[in-house]
Structure 1
């Protein structure tokens, strides 16, 4: 294609709004490469824990619109559509149902697709972030019509989506694939989940959960902590630890770090074994910042815990083979959203009601 032909192609704005990081950039139609990517810390509950859900919603939406506008300034032409991967359940019309890792428990629903469509005067597609990521992997091996797999994210929270024959298995309201809010710890002092309840899988198995567990263990066993790489990473102060440091400790197979994360990984392994046993899912793609940073030792530990829970349908030799690491980058939401936008056909035909399959369910 000539340079003139390339420059004439429509431009899309894409963003990935997670519990910790907001990423945004632009891409030309027909080119699954996102350019001009910018990354900023999300103005959510982690940075502003004292604000109400409504205040955080307004702050996060303003931040998202502002970053998308900044990205559009570097694009070769005005955008023809906007696509956003969002960390929370999203309904068919692009309304965010909930987002505990971003603005805490039980915030009001947010019609994000409508807001973005009004702000940019173009069609807007809003997807759940794990759903969006799935489109990257569904398209990666050329076998999506027959593929049957589950996306799993271990990051600020824990979530999943099951894909079969090129479609995601979810109802229209986007409620599903939220294993992070399954209660797995019924102790009275179980860790608090961002949604406001105790003992959820996301509270014990996410990056934030791993950090909490490492801090608790460090205070209970200060001698063992002092001998670990985690102590060296935070100058001996558990309060200065980060989830990424815990993940790095797991990657280096530090005994203390592995001990800290094992209870959460055990709960996640049991949950994935249940999905395999109930649905026959043949592949689990494990993505997310914490899982990516913890690397192969984390996947091996997860496979071991799946095998313990899987019974005869999931023998030890098979469990690890079901787990596939995500790509070694943080572009799943961006590339998956772009892929879904491309698959949806002409976005202009989607006004006023998007023709995209279920925004949170696609």
Structure 2
């Protein structure tokens, strides 16, 4: 049986005139390409939804004609300004409406729920077809005008000269006649909207307009529609040149009947009128090409697009003549020969550039992996691509399925911890995809969890000083298996199992206190995920009463709504807390206190809690303490928190009178803790259900923005967030609130 070197993909070119759908495999389009006219507005009605419905239908039909199970990728090249997340900035030349902010990737994903959708600008996609040229610019002269600069010598994500949003090269909407004052911006917008009077006023002033509403930009001079309008204006202004021309003959002498095909046909006959027209249309473009050539050191400009290549050699001849005429004598161009000027521009290979280029992009991207990157010294994260790391003989590779975003990750990104992991994240569920020849203990297909804490070095942690798990593929050394950091999980691969890592630290916290939860009155301070996990474990281990105090009532309300807490067990973390504890415990106080609060807030909270702590109680310093924090006891004694939390020291503390308590603490977890956490959650009728603690599922594409929102106010979409999970199978900018009952699992989309 013959096997191809790469999976098939379906590619789409959303052009302003024609939309095409094809299948791409092994460097070429396979089978027939479907073409249909891009819908246009009628009676002011938007055609966007009609266009997307038709695309989705054709993609589904194309998939049925190529039924191989690997057809999952759909690449969409769109003739519009679109950012790297598939959101439209301006689609005026596509749908005759800006569509600003419209999430094209998400709209297509809703229609094609089986597909991994990639969206990019059509010129950006087409550039990948020409990467064999090395360093060049790709121009399109069609319904619009745009350019992309490509350098094949650079890493994958940097080969196209774009900004962080994936934008750049939209020169068609830059004015090229700034010395002339535009009469009115409102006139340009009115002309684009179909106002004949506005168009006439602009024509009388000798000014050209673009479909985006700009007057005098490059599109208004060089695009196909602009050249058609210019031809009509020239015919009216110079009837002597128009009468008897080949173009007039093709249009019955009526300037209003001029079309792009008519211009192309007349140009082939050497028609003087058409040469004059094309010379005027290409002159501003020639000036832009020379400027870019000098500014960026470019010697190759590939010209694609239905209009330029439809007219063909006559169009290129006029462009080259303008280049020669405008060529400066010095600077970058010193010593250029006529042959070098002529070679500056060349036609594209055919009209399949965007389709083939999108296929090339998808194929090249399969050699790359995406990751969330934290630049050193910067309180932000961004998504980037890098070449996939190879797997050695003593290594194994995994595909990330799910990763959890926790408060520690936000602290690392903000710089609160001084850690620079490069890639954040330390909670995950992954699947083994490759195993080195000398590795034992894992097999391809295994579903695993990972303890990020090295057992023999408290400072060696994923997502802290080592690259973390917010990345699609990771290659790890076999030492992780030897040290017990790899935890086998059932094949179901549930998304909520990312919480096994924080649960293991809670198990260790309980073990530090002697596992004495049964029949004890427990107070958890802090209703974050760690605090709620403590409450769930205490109830599981038959604590007599479990109270949870928190400053924000919204957090408590969310925990009650999800069934994690009972309303009567929720207390306000304020001055009324001691009285509330006394009432809830009949004056007996609490036998266990767990501090699971933000860094630095623990000492002040404890000062107010000492009267509520029962004799013989255990106080867990789980969270809320800086490395230099001290605990002040009722008698005035100062106790350093760090040795208790990190080194596991215990401190017998007097509370005044005959009362005393024991201060305990813990940090991280070992293999035994992780194994117990696993056993608590994966089997048995009495297992812990972690799903209610998951409030949102997001895509990797959306993760940088999600991190910004969480660092800002801890909310997503206006809702408080508990645990946010990255689902690596999602494509596009996806942020989905969940109720805990519809979480994904490995290999199953929801």
- 2:263 is the counterpart of 1:246: yes
Unaligned runs of 5+ in 1: 142-146
The one of 88, 92, 95 aligned to 1:100: 92
Tell me the residue number matched to 1:114. 106
Tell me the residue number matched to 2:169. 177
CA distance in 1, matches of 2:325, 2:700: 47
Q: Choose 301-310 or 196-205, whichever is displaced more.
A: 301-310
Partners of 1:65 and 1:116 within 8 A in 2: yes
Question: Which structure: larger Rg?
Answer: 2
Partners of 1:91 and 1:173 within 8 A in 2: yes
Tell me the residue number matched to 1:144. none
Structure showing greater relative contact order (alpha-carbon pairs closer than 8 Å, 6 or more residues apart): 1
The one of 154, 157, 160 aligned to 2:141: 154
Matches within 5 A, 1:189-268: 189=202, 190-268=207-285
Partners of 2:12 and 2:76 within 8 A in 1: yes
CA distance in 1, matches of 2:319, 2:111: 43
Deviation at 1:262, TM superposition (A): 1.8
Tell me the residue number matched to 2:344. 322
TM-score for the superposition, normalised by structure 2: 0.43
Structure 1 SS opposite 2:58: helix
- 2:184 is the counterpart of 1:163: no
Distance 1:265 1:62, change over 3 A: same
Structure 1 SS opposite 2:47: helix
Deviation at 1:31, TM superposition (A): 4.2
CA distance in 1, matches of 2:258, 2:337: 33
Tell me the residue number matched to 1:37. 33
The one of 112, 127, 131 aligned to 1:138: 131
Tell me the residue number matched to 2:63. 72
Deviation at 1:235, TM superposition (A): 2.1
Deviation at 1:197, TM superposition (A): 1.5
Partners of 1:123 and 1:347 within 8 A in 2: no
Query: Higher helix share goes to which structure?
Result: 1
Deviation at 1:346, TM superposition (A): 7.1
Tell me the residue number matched to 1:275. 292
Deviation at 1:66, TM superposition (A): 2.3
The one of 291, 306, 310 aligned to 2:308: 291
Deviation at 1:32, TM superposition (A): 2.0
Tell me the residue number matched to 1:334. 355
Tell me the residue number matched to 2:54. 63
CA RMSD of aligned residues (A): 2.5
Query: Higher strand share goes to which structure?
Result: 2
- 2:83 is the counterpart of 1:91: yes
Structure 1 SS opposite 2:9: strand
Distance 1:205 1:49, change over 3 A: farther
CA distance in 2, matches of 1:271, 1:203: 14
Partners of 1:36 and 1:74 within 8 A in 2: no
CA distance in 2, matches of 1:264, 1:257: 10
Unaligned runs of 5+ in 2: 184-201, 370-398, 400-471, 473-697, 702-727, 733-750
Structure 2 SS opposite 1:14: strand
Deviation at 1:49, TM superposition (A): 5.4
- How many residue pairs were aligned? 340
Deviation at 1:316, TM superposition (A): 6.3
TM-score for the superposition, normalised by structure 1: 0.86
